[in-house]
Chain A
C-alpha cells in the first residue's frame, strides 16, 4: 500500500474508532439520564443515598486514620459512626436550646409579620429615609419583587426541612447507607471493575481512581469551606448583635456551596431581618459589610488554600447548571448540581485523556 493510502486508512480507522466511542459515550450518557430520571421519581431513596455518599466521602479519611493505627475496617467504621453520633448529640444538646429559641421567635415573627406587612414597613422606611426617590412606580415595582422574594423564601424555608429530611429517613436510612458505603465501598468498586471486559480494565481503574481523588477532595474541601464561612458568618452576626445569628450563619454556610448566588442568598435574610428588627435601613450596612468581609476572606484565604484550583467550572456553565438543578430537583438540586457537574467534567476530561492514550477507545484492539 502506498504511504498516502496507508495514511487514509489510518484516518478512516481513527474516525470509525471515534464514532464508536461517541456512540458508546452517547449510550452511556443516555443510560445515566434515564437513571437520573427514574431516580428523580424515587426521591425517598435518592436523597438519603446522595447524602450518604457525601457523608461517606467526608468520613473516609477518619476511617483510614483509625486503620493506620491497626484497627480493622469494620471496627474503624463503627467507631467513626459512633463518634459522629456522640458529636452530633453533644452539639445538638448545646445548640438545641439556642436554635429552638431562634426558631420560636422567628416563627412568632412570621406569624406577626406577613410578607405584605414587611414590604409595607420597608415602603414607609424608604419614603422616610430616601425622600429623593420621587418616582413611586419604581419603588412599588421593586417592593413588589421583594414581596414575592420574601414569600418564596418563607415558603421554601418551611418546605425545605420536611422535604429534605423526613425524620425516619434521617434516623435510619442515612446512617445505615453510610455505614455500608464506608465498610464495603472498595468491595463494590472492585465488583464493578470485575464485570468489565479485559480491554477496558486498566482504563476504567485509572478513570475511577482519578474521579475518586478529585471528587473526594472537592466535596471535602467544599464542605470545609462552607463550615468556615458558616462559622465566620455566625460569629460576625453575633458580634453585631443580630438576632438568629446561628440560623442565619448555618444557612449562609449551606448557601455558600452554590457558587455566585450562594453568598448573596446567605446575606439577604440577615439584611432583611436586621432591617425589620432594628427598624432602620442603616441596619443593613453592618450586615452587608460583614458579609463582604467574609466573602473577601473566603476568596483570598479560605477557598484558595482548601480547594486550590481544582475542578474549576466556567461561570456560564455554573449559571446554567444552577438553574437547571434548581428547576429539576429543588433545593437539593441547587446544593448538589455543582459536585455532580464536577463528576461529569472529570469523567469527560479523563475519557478524553484515555481516548488519546488507550488503544481500546480508539478501536485499535
Chain B
C-alpha cells in the first residue's frame, strides 16, 4: 500500500468502522430494523450515545421530555413516584426496547422516571432532531414515524387486552363474592 493510501486509510478507518458497528446495532432495534443501510447512517448521525451507571436517573417524572431512548446494552427500570419511599417498578426495558417515545410526539412532561439498572448504554433520539430530519429527509422521517406509530398501536392493543383481562378478573371476583354472600 502506498504511503498516501495508508494515510487515507488511517484517516477514514475509524469512522467507517464505528459507523458500520453502530449501523449493525441500530438494525437490531425494532424501530430502525426496516431502514436501509444509507438511512441507518443518517440515524447514526442523529442519535446521541449515552452511558449510565447503575442507579443513575435518565430522566425524572414531571420534567419536560425532549426525546426517546433506545436500550443498546443493559436494562432500564421505569418508575412512578421514584423519589418517594416504596416506589414500584412499572416495567423493565431491555436491549432493543425503547422508552420515553411520547416526548417525540407531544410537548409534555415525562409521566414516569427512568433509572439505569446496571451499566447501561442508550441511544437517544431527540424530538427537535427528528423533526429536523423530517424537514430534510421527509421519506425517512415518515418511515420512522410510521414504524413508531405501529409500535405504539401494538402497545395500545396489548394494554387494551390487559385492561380487558383485569376488568374480567375484577368482575369474576365481584360475582364470586356475590355468589359467596
Interface residues of A (CB under 8 A from B): 64, 67-68, 186-187, 190, 193-194, 198-199, 201-202, 205-206, 209, 357-359, 364-365
**Chain B 60-78 near chain A by CB (<8 Å), digits 1 or 0:** 1001111100000000000
Q: A68-B135, A209-B126 are in contact. List 14 more A-B contacts (CB 8 A).
A: A67-B136, A67-B137, A68-B138, A193-B48, A194-B49, A198-B50, A198-B51, A199-B57, A202-B64, A202-B67, A205-B48, A206-B64, A358-B60, A358-B63
Cβ-closest chain B residue relative to A207: B66
A contact residues around B51 at 8 Å (CB)? 198
CB <8 Å contact, A205 and B66: yes
Cβ-closest 6 pairs across A and B: A209-B128, A67-B136, A202-B66, A206-B66, A359-B60, A357-B64
CB <8 Å contact, A198 and B58: yes
CB <8 Å contact, B63 and A205: no
Q: Which of B99-156 contact A (CB under 8 A)?
A: 109, 124, 126, 128, 135-138
CB distance from A208 to the nearest CB of B (A): 9
Q: Is B45's beta carbon under 8 Å from chain A?
A: yes
Interface residues of B (CB under 8 A from A): 45, 48-52, 56-60, 63-67, 109, 124, 126, 128, 135-138
Most buried by B among A187, A357, A358, A359: A359
CB distance from A278 to the nearest CB of B (A): 53
Most buried by A among B58, B63, B138: B63
The interface residues of chain B, by DSSP majority, are classed as strand
CB distance from A276 to the nearest CB of B (A): 52
B contact residues around A358 at 8 Å (CB)? 60, 63-64
- Give Cα A194–Cα B60 distance, bound, in whole angstroms: 20
- Given known pairs A64-B136, A67-B137, A365-B57, the reply for A202 and B48 (CB within 8 Å) is no
A contact residues around B49 at 8 Å (CB)? 194
A contact residues around B63 at 8 Å (CB)? 202, 357-359
Give the A-B contact count at a CB cut-off of 8 A.
50
Cβ-closest chain A residue relative to B116: A198
CB distance from B159 to the nearest CB of A (A): 26
- Give Cα A206–Cα B59 distance, bound, in whole angstroms: 13
CB distance from A216 to the nearest CB of B (A): 12
CB <8 Å contact, A68 and B136: yes
CB <8 Å contact, B135 and A64: yes
Most buried by B among A193, A201, A202, A365: A202
- Give Cα A190–Cα B60 distance, bound, in whole angstroms: 22
Q: Which of A201, A364, A365 contacts B48 (CB 8 A)?
A: A201
Cβ-closest chain B residue relative to A212: B128
B contact residues around A357 at 8 Å (CB)? 63-64, 109
- Give Cα A64–Cα B141 distance, bound, in whole angstroms: 14
CB distance from B62 to the nearest CB of A (A): 8
Q: Which of A68, A186, A206 contacts B137 (CB 8 A)?
A: A68
A contact residues around B52 at 8 Å (CB)? 198
- Give Cα A68–Cα B137 distance, bound, in whole angstroms: 5
A-B contact pairs, 13 of them (CB 8 A): A67-B137, A68-B135, A68-B136, A193-B48, A194-B49, A198-B51, A202-B65, A206-B64, A206-B66, A209-B128, A358-B63, A359-B63, A364-B60
- Give Cα A206–Cα B66 distance, bound, in whole angstroms: 7
B contact residues around A67 at 8 Å (CB)? 136-137
CB distance from A330 to the nearest CB of B (A): 36
- Give Cα A206–Cα B110 distance, bound, in whole angstroms: 14
- Give Cα A362–Cα B164 distance, bound, in whole angstroms: 42
Q: Which of A187, A198, A359 contacts B56 (CB 8 A)?
A: A198
CB distance from A35 to the nearest CB of B (A): 25
B contact residues around A201 at 8 Å (CB)? 48, 50, 124
B contact residues around A187 at 8 Å (CB)? 45
Cβ-closest chain A residue relative to B60: A359
